[in-house]
Chain A
């Protein structure tokens, strides 16, 4: 029983993470912005980053 409870609790976490992603994706779909391929500004990249 204890194992079942802990597994359900863990699944609850996973569901929340996926729901966060789902709801945010739905919201961002309305923004019309390609954020998935966004790169941080040059100043924030490491030394090997694009100039």
Chain B
């Protein structure tokens, strides 16, 4: 048994044990769904980042960076990272204020509509299941590489690694294990950089080698490798569009905003947003550099670049920590997605409100098991496509939820019919285009990318719905209730502390810019002179 496998097994055992211990403390549905709404900043940050960064980022994105799209992926990473600051201010704090148990319930109450609630739940389950598939395939690829076991056996292990403790422990277990896993992969990402730099010949000389690389020309240039990415203008446009898509995912997706529901107050929401943004940007930037540094000495590994780096270019201990970190990123996202599916099925699709607490818990757990078995079957019978399956889930949510989510807070004119049609048409458009292009039925020009079609149709749906009916008195009252400020939020010391965090983010942004100029731009430009 090799050291990598031992490290992975120890970490799996730790997550299962902690999940089991936490699960024993779950008393009721409120505990199971939203962890009693008393989570502090550290747990919310841990869960935000851990549920957002998965094997898609650690294996898929790094594969893109190593194949020649380094700056494209950096742009997407930075754009999505700052989404937390906008999302918490414009949507997250109001989700917390609504006291809903799930995001579909939030929409249902806001628009006084059962069909709206069910539609939100169904679209969420579809997107989240796709994302879960990507995560399961990512963990399986990782395990298969480490152990040499057949990929299909690894799918079973991957599925089991997040299914059992999530079903047992619900949100409290997910929050605690997410935070542990966030710490593991943050440390892994940060220590992997110097570890790989030492082995590839130093930072500045490697940047110079990459700048003049003949194997992957333009790998770290602003526009990327022309053979891999599209033409210059389109590359940047693609980066900006997908930066916006992922920023919207961070701002409105259920796997992000549902974390705010568990925060102990709105100050926790706002503070978590700043720290989560910093955490995501540090982690992603670090792994993208590791990926291109690895490609400088051994190109062509695609989405297995990080696995190759961990097993060949680092001291064994650092490699074990990195592989454990990648595994943690996958499991943490899988556990969040699975819990969201189970909650939505029980609370929003079948609406088991009249059942007693024990029956609802049992129903939630059964729902989760069914969803996870579906994901297991899909992962087992389909070849891995980590990057594109992940983009499918993210795009569907961004395209169909964004307009309605912001409208539910900031539009006086958005009626139930408008919201329903907006989400439905956005989902159909986005899903249809994505599915058609993924299966090769047709190709579309960039302007008709699934995200754009989803947004166009969502806006059209909102406009048609609003023409057909105006907001009712109950809808108006529910919207006004969102703007009633809880007395507990009016603590001047907490307000000052929350406000002052903007300075921290400003300083972080300046430091990031200085780092990129001195460690990337200057050595790059010197090399190509």
Bound Cα distance from A13 to B79, whole angstroms: 9
Chain A residues, Cβ within 8 Å of B483: 30
**CB <8 Å contact, B489 and A40:** no
Bound Cα distance from A25 to B222, whole angstroms: 36
Chain A residues, Cβ within 8 Å of B414: none
Tell me which residues from 2 to 45 in chain A have a Cβ below 8 Å from any Cβ of chain B: 2-7, 9-10, 12-14, 16-21, 23-25, 27-28, 30-36, 38-41
A51 within 8 A of B: no
**CB <8 Å contact, B495 and A28:** yes
A1 within 8 A of B: yes
On whether A6 and B520 interact (CB within 8 A), knowing A20-B89, A20-B505, the answer reads: yes
Bound Cα distance from A9 to B89, whole angstroms: 21
**CB <8 Å contact, A5 and B490:** no
Bound Cα distance from A19 to B505, whole angstroms: 11
Residue of B223, B505, B520 with most chain A CB atoms under a 10 A cut-off: B505
Chain A residues, Cβ within 8 Å of B502: 17-18, 20-21, 24
**CB <8 Å contact, A13 and B89:** no
Output the nearest chain B residue to A8 by Cβ-Cβ distance: B75
**CB <8 Å contact, A24 and B493:** no
Select one of B74, B85, B270, B499 contacting A9, CB under 8 A. Answer: B74
- Interface segment, one of B16-24, B330-338, B346-354, B508-516: B508-516
B interface secondary structure, majority: helix
Chain A residues, Cβ within 8 Å of B512: 9-10, 13
Bound Cα distance from A47 to B222, whole angstroms: 52
Output the nearest chain A residue to B503 by Cβ-Cβ distance: A17
B496 within 8 A of A: yes
Min distance, Cβ B276 to any Cβ of chain A, angstroms: 13
Residue interface bits B494-527, CB-to-A below 8 A is 1, else 0: 0110110111011011101100110011001100
A interface secondary structure, majority: helix
Select one of B270, B485, B493 contacting A38, CB under 8 A. Answer: B493
Select one of A19, A21, A40 contacting B499, CB under 8 A. Answer: A21
Chain B residues, Cβ within 8 Å of A9: 74-75, 78, 512-513, 516
B122 within 8 A of A: no
Select one of B90, B496, B510, B517 contacting A23, CB under 8 A. Answer: B90
B71 within 8 A of A: yes
Bound Cα distance from A49 to B266, whole angstroms: 28
Output the nearest chain B residue to A41 by Cβ-Cβ distance: B493
On whether A13 and B78 interact (CB within 8 A), knowing A3-B521, A20-B502, A24-B89, the answer reads: yes
Min distance, Cβ B517 to any Cβ of chain A, angstroms: 6
Bound Cα distance from A6 to B274, whole angstroms: 21
Min distance, Cβ B271 to any Cβ of chain A, angstroms: 11
B67 within 8 A of A: no
On whether A23 and B492 interact (CB within 8 A), knowing A2-B222, A13-B78, the answer reads: no
Output the nearest chain B residue to A39 by Cβ-Cβ distance: B493
Bound Cα distance from A40 to B493, whole angstroms: 6
**CB <8 Å contact, A31 and B490:** yes
Chain A residues, Cβ within 8 Å of B164: none
B136 within 8 A of A: no
Output the nearest chain B residue to A44 by Cβ-Cβ distance: B493
Min distance, Cβ B520 to any Cβ of chain A, angstroms: 7
Chain B residues, Cβ within 8 Å of A5: 71, 75, 222
Bound Cα distance from A6 to B478, whole angstroms: 44
Chain A residues engaging chain B, CB cutoff 8 angstroms: 1-7, 9-10, 12-14, 16-21, 23-25, 27-28, 30-36, 38-41
Given A7-B513, A10-B512, 20 additional A-B pairs, CB 8 A = A2-B221, A2-B521, A3-B521, A9-B78, A12-B509, A13-B78, A13-B505, A16-B509, A17-B502, A17-B505, A17-B509, A18-B502, A19-B89, A20-B502, A24-B89, A25-B499, A27-B89, A35-B495, A35-B496, A36-B496
A–B pairs, 10, beta carbons within 8 Å: A2-B71, A2-B221, A13-B512, A24-B502, A31-B485, A31-B495, A35-B492, A35-B496, A38-B493, A39-B493
